[in-house]
Amino acid sequence: SVVEPDITKLLDHLARQPALARRLGGARDQWSAREIGDGNVNLVFAVHGPAGAVCVKQAPPYVRAAGPSWPLTPQRVLFEHRALVEHRRHAGPYVPEPLHVDPKEHLLTVEYLEGHTVMRGGLTAGACYPHFAGQVARYLARTLFFTSDLALPAGRKRELVSRFETNTAMCQIMEDMVFTEVFLPHPRNRWTSPELDEDVERLQRDIELKLAVSRLKQRYLTSRDALLHGDLHTGSIMVSEDSLGVIDQEFACYGPMGFDLGTLLAHLLIAYFAAAAGARGPDRAAQQGWLLSTVEQVWDGFRTHFTELWRHHADGDGYPPALFTGAATAALEAERQRYLDELFTETLGFCGAEIIRRVVGFARPADFTTVTDSARRAAAERRSLALARALTTAPTAYRSAADLTAAARDS
Ligand code: SR1
Ligand code: MG
């Protein structure tokens, strides 16, 4: 059911773009293309020439993992291109350079990230990335702050919102898959461990959880707080020993900042629980320790950077600086901390919802699916579900990232 890569067509396309052909160098018959995509939605090619390489994403008019029976707009590459342009403006070192987008052939060409690997693959092999937390915290603070009303004049912000408002089909996938389908008996749900049957039945009868998740869905539907990546899991991040590149912005939309933050924390926690099930390398205890300290450093680093940006780059129409001079300065600083406390609470809610849908829904992560021992996998998934439920239904019980990691350890 999956599309056959048409390499000839792809190379023809690159040959027609002088800047891309120059980047590859040599003649067309010296170029080689290899399909490297491991995601659910698209085909991805690495193309090498004598002078350099590019990465080309092809969006078929359906979901790759399902085939033509699940149609999906190929226009998604246009939203991805827009988000790359906008996020790279603010977080350049962490976002690959977009080189070309073809709205007719639905091909997006971006810088090839030499020496990088998909983070989820590295994690399942037992790797740790000591620079990751600091870099991703900066990426998150800068992309979210600089696309928000704290940094942008209202006119520019509204214009940007309107450029992402029609990414409807991609947003609907999230609305359905994260907030709805897993809480119902739905044909797309497919948890991997039969031992979880009763847990799933319980979850689908859990009114408190359904209410909490519906509140989050309402936030996802109505918030226009910042331009989100929209699917910030560890499969959307390329890493090397000392750098990272965030890819796959096709779900980009204006929405609640906690959605990106919560998704990333969810996947770090999923990696933590999966490591306990033994799918990792020999030193899994060390990796687990690193994963939890990364969870803390991501949130704490984000909070520090975001606060600094707000103190020094508040050029937007939210919280007009003219209102907060003299004695009001301290009140504004207290307000910043209140804002970030609230954002932490929202982040935990989205984190829980993302974990649940990755255990019970269509898009199960390799962290779990690569655990071959069904009983151990079920134990890890059950621990994940227990933490996720607590985060989603009672997020205010956690005041700090250290509270969150303590709960993960105890789960
Ligand atoms: C049909 S797409 C399934 C999932 O894969 C992507 O990574 C998104 O997370 C989406 O929800
Ligand atoms: Mg993706």
290-321: pLDDT as tens digits: 999 999 999 999 999 999 999 999 999 999 98
For residue 333, the CA-to-ligand 1 centroid distance in Å is 38
The number of angstroms, rounded, from the C-alpha of 60 to the middle of its chain's C-alpha atoms is: 21
Pocket test for ligand 1, best of 173, 180, 248, 354 (most atoms within 8 A of CB): 173
Q: So what's the pLDDT on residue 283?
A: 84
Is 242 buried (19+), middle (13-18) or exposed (0-12) by CB count in 10 A? Answer: exposed
Maximum Cα–Cα distance for the chain, whole Å? 70
Residue 102 has pLDDT above 50, yes or no: yes
**pLDDT tens-place string over residues 46-60:** 999 999 999 999 999
pLDDT at residue number 3? 57
Lowest model confidence (mean pLDDT) among 20-24, 38-42, 231-235: 38-42
DSSP codes, 45-60: EEEE-SS-EEEEEE--
What's the confidence (pLDDT) of residue 281? 61
Looking at the chain, the whole-number percentage of residues with pLDDT higher than 90 is 93
* Sequential DSSP letters for 115-167: T-EEHHHHHHTT---TTHHHHHHHHHHHHHHHTSTTTS-HHHHHHHHHHHTT-
Closest protein CA for atom 6 of ligand 1: 40
| DSSP label of 71 | E
Place 367 in a pLDDT band, splitting at 50, 70 and 90.
very high
Q: Whose alpha carbon is nearest atom 11 of ligand 1?
A: 174
- Rounded to the nearest whole angstrom, what is the distance from the C-alpha of residue 261 to the centroid of ligand 2? 16
- At 321, give phi and psi (nearest 5°): -55, -30
Residue 342 has, within 13 A of its CA and on its CB side, a CA count of 8
Contact 260/229 with Cβ under 8 angstroms?
yes
Beta bridge partners of 59: none
Q: Is 72 in the pocket of ligand 1 (CB under 6 A)?
A: no
Confidence of residue 5 (pLDDT cuts 50, 70, 90): confident
Q: Residue 279: pLDDT band by 50, 70, 90 thresholds?
A: low
Closest C-alpha residue for ligand 1 atom 3:
363
Mean pLDDT of 55-83: 95
Q: Which of 9-18, 203-212, 218-227, 275-284 has the lowest mean pLDDT?
A: 275-284
What pLDDT is recorded for position 39?
85
Per-residue pLDDT, averaged over 145-157, amounts to 98
Q: In this structure, which residue's CA is closest to atom 4 in ligand 1?
A: 363
Confidence of residue 1 (pLDDT cuts 50, 70, 90): very low
pLDDT at 6: 84
pLDDT tens digits, 325-345: 999 999 999 999 999 999 999
- DSSP, collapsed to helix, strand or coil, labels residue 188 as coil
| Alpha carbon separation from 30 to 25, 55, 58, 100 (Å, rounded) | 9, 16, 21, 21
Q: Please, which pLDDT band fits residue 217 given cuts at 50, 70 and 90?
A: very high
Find out whether the beta carbon of 182 lies less than 6 Å from any atom of ligand 1.
no
Domains and CATH numbers, the chain: 7-111 (3.30.200.20), 117-410 (3.90.1200.10)
Ligand 1 atom, smallest distance to 174 CA: 11
Ligand 1 contact via 177 beta carbon (within 6 Å): yes
Beta carbons of 253 and 228 less than 8 angstroms apart: yes
Q: Which of 80, 362, 364, 369 to mutate to test the pocket of ligand 1 (most atoms within 8 A of CB)?
A: 362
Kindly indicate the confidence band of residue 38, based on its pLDDT and cuts at 50, 70 and 90. Answer: confident
Ligand 1 pocket member 261 (CB < 6 A)? no
pTM of this prediction? Answer: 0.97
pLDDT of residue 4: 63
- Among the residue ranges 34-43, 114-123, 305-314, the one predicted with the least confidence is 34-43
Rounded CA-CA distance 329/48 in Å is 55
With a 6 Å cutoff on the Cβ, whether 173 touches ligand 1 is: yes
Residue 280 pLDDT level (bands cut at 50, 70, 90): low
| Ligand 1 in reach of 44 Cβ (< 6 A) | no
- Report whether residue 63 contacts ligand 1, using a CB cutoff of 6 Å: yes
Q: Which atom of ligand 1 has the smallest separation from the CA of 357?
A: 11
| Residue 11, SS3 per DSSP | helix
